[in-house]
Chains A and B, each alone.
Chain A
Amino acid sequence: MILDSKSPAGPLAEKWTKHKFNSKLVNPANKRKYDVIVVGTGLAGASAAASLAELGYNVKAFTFHDSPRRAHSIAAQGGINAAKNYQNDGDSVFRLFYDTIKGGDYRARESNVYRLAEVSVSIIDQCVAQGVPFAREYGGLLANRSFGGAQVSRTFYARGQTGQQLLLGAYSALSRQVANGKVKLYPRTEMMDVVVIDGHARGIVTRNVITGEVETHAAHAVLLCTGGYGNVFFLSTNAMGCNVTAAWRAHKRGAYFANPCFTQIHPTCIPVSGDHQSKLTLMSESLRNDGRVWVPKTVETAEKLRKGQIKAAEIKEEDRDYFLERKYPSFGNLVPRDVASRNAKEVCDEGKGVNETGEAVFLDFRDAIKRDTEALIKAKYGNLFDMYQQITGENPYQTPMMIYPAVHYTMGGLWVDYNLMTTVPGLYALGEANFSDHGANRLGASALMQGLADGYFVIPYTLGDYLAQTPPVKVDASHPEFAKVSREVKDRISQLLNIDGKKSVDYFHKKLGKIMWNECGMARTEEGLKKAKADIQALRKEFWSNVKVLGQNEELNQSLEKAHRVADFLELGELMVDDALNRNESCGGHFRVEYQTPEGEALRDDENFAYVAAWKYTGDNKEEELVKEPLAFENVKLTQRSYK
């Protein structure tokens, strides 16, 4: 079987315009007859819910957070890309498209990526109109910075809190619709399952996190905007609550899961300090604009550093290896994330790591401070430097920062067609929850862009096309399928509460994380992956017989919430391993040690693997079925990515 992306025919630059024109419309008076469920109120969900409500649909918006403003999008620091070409430095929609396709190592769908680049310009207009305080030049116009994988300055930012400001913008638009009565908001409500009737998504089952009440909600369409699954690794830069549950339940109800093994390891994170660690902290990629990455040239010097016998500042210029600048002279410290991460791992594996654990490299601002003054560096990155100091207790103005790669983003996700519809009609996936635009590696500042593109500018059109073909009859949760799914949810809750085992939920989560990080992280081998698969199966079995979840359902029960999420991670983990095993090539963030160029770069196999790997669920503890969506490249030439 081959998946149809429903990408419109015709020249790339005209596809979206034509598609919008050809989409069916719901007339204004009829819009109020349609109910839409939006799960997740991060950038993707809040922007979608607000925009759909403005059009007149009745929206119900769900989040497990206490407020939409808490969504993980709030944590994005660096910025958002847009092809505005305000800098007159040669940017264009086509260049942003090209950079994104190339950055993704030619594993993304051309039509989607082009549309993303095309609507990027409207996003900035929209956010400014909402009052998002982007950084400005003295003349009052918008300022830009550069990000990895691009040679133009196209990143808009609000100090080091771009995600916060964009989310608060979308949240304000959403709040306005809540006040207007067009959005009913369900905070602290977790989606537990999707209800599919006659092949169409018709609602969801939720659990009220405070009371434990299991409820059903019906609608004409369901949008999953539930974020990424990086926490399958336990340690990641994601917020503690990020999870795969909504996407995974949808997967088990028929939505294919695409490219699950495509995960992004971010090069600039604060290194792990000990076993107690609960999460990792990202230092924005924007720091690579001014910071220089290095390790000592020799293992001996590195050893002295690790033992505390010398300090970084004492190491002479000629004894330092600025390895990114040396290997990639044209992109230098601004190579894409996968390349930067892999190189950091490589020098640490050689024994040149600079902290006690041997897993850290320097990110040094000495030269930037000399060139631009400390005050200027402070103005640019002050809050990041403060955060670094708070966490590590060291002053990065005086000693170089130490960084190491950490899990950061998941390019994989629910498979969606050009309309952002999953393989279940009426069920959509937006934002990080889908797989759509970043191929095998996402460029910095492109996730915010994608989330808002999906929510503000894509779904209002594509959802209309579906709803126009759905009769506007009232829906409710009286269909027996709702009762059935709701019972299944309750059964699972009581199952978890009654195992009465010996090990905490975190014990299993940490173990799973270790397996994933070691075997399905920055470097993957056939042997390691096979071992990981067996280990995960064993761990899953142990979980279901030996996990300890205290308390009851009818109360705020954080262990129970976590247990549900970890149970799903234990299934997803195996699928990620399967996907990594299937893909006998290296591309972007997926690095199979067996497939590399003589210089150690990722070696793609376009002949055999220029496809999206979508996985179809076939039953518990059964192998999933691989379904391919071939990728056709009509507008770019597939080349070996080079940032030299």
Chain B
Amino acid sequence: MKLTLKIWRQKNSADTGGFVTYPIDGISKDMSFLEMMDVLNEELTEKNQDPVHFDHDCREGICGTCSLYIDGKPHGPLQTTTCQLHMRSFSDGDTITIEPWRAKAFPVLKDLVVDRSSFDRIIQAGGYVSVNTGGVPDANEIPIPKTMADLAMDAAQCIGCGACVAACKNASAMLFTSAKVSQLALLPQGQIERKTRAEKMVAQMDAEGFGACTNTGACEAECPKGISLTNIARMNREYFSAVMSSENM
């Protein structure tokens, strides 16, 4: 396949950045999207041009590191991660536009690499059960109905990629935050800190500069792990019942 790539290049966070167009040839349908980028980078290196920087690691759709905004969609045309996207989703002669995630809380570091440490800080605000190592009960002393465990697992599958934020016109992090809040709200282990957790995580989310949720559902539509909007509804319930009887006064 012969393609034209329009790629966002930006030297560092201070640079204004802009698109650069690269023609590329000899791409096979079996290549993954990132392998196509590897080919481009080998060619650029050959010509003594700085390779395009992008984040990636597992290339299996699980680490959440890859993060390209392809033709106006986070992770491209399929509901999957960029690393699991293959060139068979494109046709010979296509022009493909590649940009970084765009959100105030995800500043660009270089080219297509953004800083998502705001997500870590949301988790640090309360995305855990406060137990120390050792001294916990036997695992089977906490029976959990299978349906609950399955629902919790559905939410826990979030890979922290940030596509939900990139897809949202307000750059809201509600889907990401609600996935963690839901997982722990559904499980008996999470009950003790249920109220403070929702409050603290939402407060951190706001402090990081993520936008408000206006329920457009764009996040769910682009989430590679199928995290459902019902998590946002659940978090809203958690949050409102928490602020009504706040322990964080």
Contact = CB atoms under 8 A, between A and B. Distances in A.
Interface of A: 47, 50-51, 54, 65-72, 74-75, 84, 86, 122, 124-131, 133-142, 158-159, 161, 164-165, 168, 171-173, 175-176, 178-179, 185, 187, 210, 239-241, 273-274, 276-279, 281-282, 387, 390-391, 393, 456-457, 460, 504, 506, 548, 550-551, 555-556, 558-559
Given A70-B64, A387-B84, A506-B42, A131 B134 contact: no
B131 A504 contact: no
B114 to A, nearest CB: 9
B117 A125 contact: no
B128 A66 contact: no
Contacts of B139: 84, 124-125, 127-128, 134, 142
B11 interface: yes
B128 A175 contact: yes
B84 A391 contact: yes
Contacts of A137: 146
Interface string B130-148: 1111101111101111100
Contacts of B63: 69-72, 74-75, 239
B236 to A, nearest CB: 21
A202 to B, nearest CB: 26
A47 B30 CA distance: 38
Given A175-B127, A176-B130, A391-B84, A129 B137 contact: yes
Interface of B: 11-12, 28, 30-32, 34-35, 38-39, 42, 45-46, 48-51, 53, 55-65, 80, 84, 86, 88, 109-110, 113, 115-117, 119-120, 123-125, 127-134, 136-140, 142-146, 149, 152-153, 156-157, 159-160, 183-184, 187, 189-190
B219 to A, nearest CB: 19
B207 to A, nearest CB: 14
Contacts of B28: 274, 276
Given A164-B159, A173-B131, 12 more contacts: A47-B133, A51-B133, A65-B57, A122-B134, A125-B139, A128-B136, A136-B149, A140-B145, A142-B140, A161-B62, A210-B110, A282-B60
Query: Interface of chain B, helix or strand or loop or mixed?
Result: loop
Contact of A239 (B58, B132, B138, B189): B58
A69 B120 CA distance: 9
Contact of B146 (A140, A185, A187): A140
A403 B110 CA distance: 38
Nearest to A185: B120
A185 B117 CA distance: 11
B127 A69 contact: no
Nearest to A132: B156
B57 A387 contact: no
B86 to A, nearest CB: 7
> Which of B49, B109, B132 is most buried by chain A, counting CB atoms within 10 A of its CB?
B132
Contact of A72 (B55, B57, B116): B57
B156 A165 contact: yes
A385 B139 CA distance: 30
B146 A138 contact: yes
B149 A135 contact: yes
Nearest to B116: A66
Contacts of B38: 276, 278, 506
Nearest to A559: B51
A66 B55 contact: yes
A75 B62 contact: yes
A68 B128 CA distance: 15
B56 to A, nearest CB: 6
A276 B39 contact: yes
A278 B128 contact: no
Contact of B35 (A54, A278, A558, A559): A278
Contact of B64 (A69, A279, A460): A69
A550 B45 contact: yes
Contacts of A164: 62, 157, 159
A390 to B, nearest CB: 5
A133 B140 contact: no
29 contacts: A47-B133, A67-B116, A70-B63, A71-B63, A75-B62, A124-B139, A126-B131, A128-B136, A131-B184, A134-B139, A140-B146, A158-B153, A159-B153, A164-B159, A172-B128, A173-B131, A178-B120, A239-B60, A274-B30, A274-B31, A276-B38, A278-B59, A387-B60, A391-B84, A548-B45, A548-B48, A555-B11, A556-B12, A556-B113
Contact of B120 (A67, A71, A129, A276): A67
Contacts of A185: 120
A125 B59 contact: no
Contact of A173 (B51, B133, B160, B187): B133
